[in-house]
């Protein structure tokens, strides 16, 4: 998970380090937006709860990624999604006001930062949205391909990936039921489309 900006002004701001255990809530959608976070270690899922009560995961963030930066730059006053840890995490915590002052301090940086924040916040979600109109097996493979950009290793035309979360989380990201994912993965293994061993996945690159 490489950072887009290697010399980001926010890295020089006053901050503190906070830690959370696995499966902890960092903040909830609708809570007052007080901090921006940069992930030092660990993984975090960003999600929203639909009126039906179903969870929709729309991104997985890891070291170097910022949380809630775009919302601050867009002058939001509340968090627009919830953040929950998938592993133990260590975060750099920056105050809302310090981030805004740094953002407004330099016009060149301001333009670059907004582009970077939008790109980082929407790239995965937009590609995931594009899988909605394909069949379930193709959607599973397309989503795994997206996740492989963060967690996988490509060897020739083969992708090898160890996901640091369960198939329940994977099913939520894909937007299908856990039982459906398990059934489809079993069928795909029988057809030699993919090999699955717990949270390890091997498949041909799309």
> 3-state class of 74 per DSSP?
coil
Q: Which two tokens stand for residue 117?
A: 């924040």
Q: Which two tokens stand for residue 11?
A: 């890295």
Q: Give the angle 177-195-169 at the CA atoms, nearest 5°.
A: 30
pTM: 0.74
Q: Give the angle 167-53-147 at the CA atoms, nearest 5°.
A: 30
> 3-state class of 61 per DSSP?
strand
- The per-residue pLDDT for range 28-62, each reduced to its tens digit, is 999 999 999 999 999 999 998 878 777 888 888 88
10 has pLDDT over 60: yes
Separation of alpha carbons 60 and 33, rounded Å = 20
- The per-residue pLDDT for range 53-99, each reduced to its tens digit, is 778 888 888 888 899 988 888 889 999 999 999 999 999 999 999 99
């Amino acid at each position: 998970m490489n950072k887009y900006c290697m010399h980001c002004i926010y890295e020089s701001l006053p901050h503190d380090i906070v830690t959370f255990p696995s499966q902890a809530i960092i903040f909830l959608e609708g809570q007052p937006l007080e901090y921006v976070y940069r992930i030092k270690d660990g993984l975090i899922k960003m999600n929203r709860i639909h009126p039906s009560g179903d969870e929709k995961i729309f991104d997985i963030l890891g070291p170097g990624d910022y949380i809630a930066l775009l919302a601050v730059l867009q002058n939001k006053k509340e968090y627009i999604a919830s953040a929950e840890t998938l592993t133990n995490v260590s975060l750099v915590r920056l105050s809302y006001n310090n981030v805004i002052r740094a953002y407004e301090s330099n016009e060149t940086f301001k333009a670059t930062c907004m582009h970077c924040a939008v790109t980082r916040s929407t790239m995965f979600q937009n590609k995931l949205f594009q899988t909605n109109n394909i069949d379930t097996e193709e959607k599973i493979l397309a989503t795994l391909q997206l996740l492989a950009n963060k967690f996988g290793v490509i060897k020739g035309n083969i992708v090898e990936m160890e996901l640091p979360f369960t198939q329940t989380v994977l099913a939520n990201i894909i937007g299908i039921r856990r039982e459906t994912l398990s059934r489809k993965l079993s069928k795909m293994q029988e057809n030699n489309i993919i090999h699955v061993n717990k949270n390890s996945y091997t498949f041909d690159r799309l």
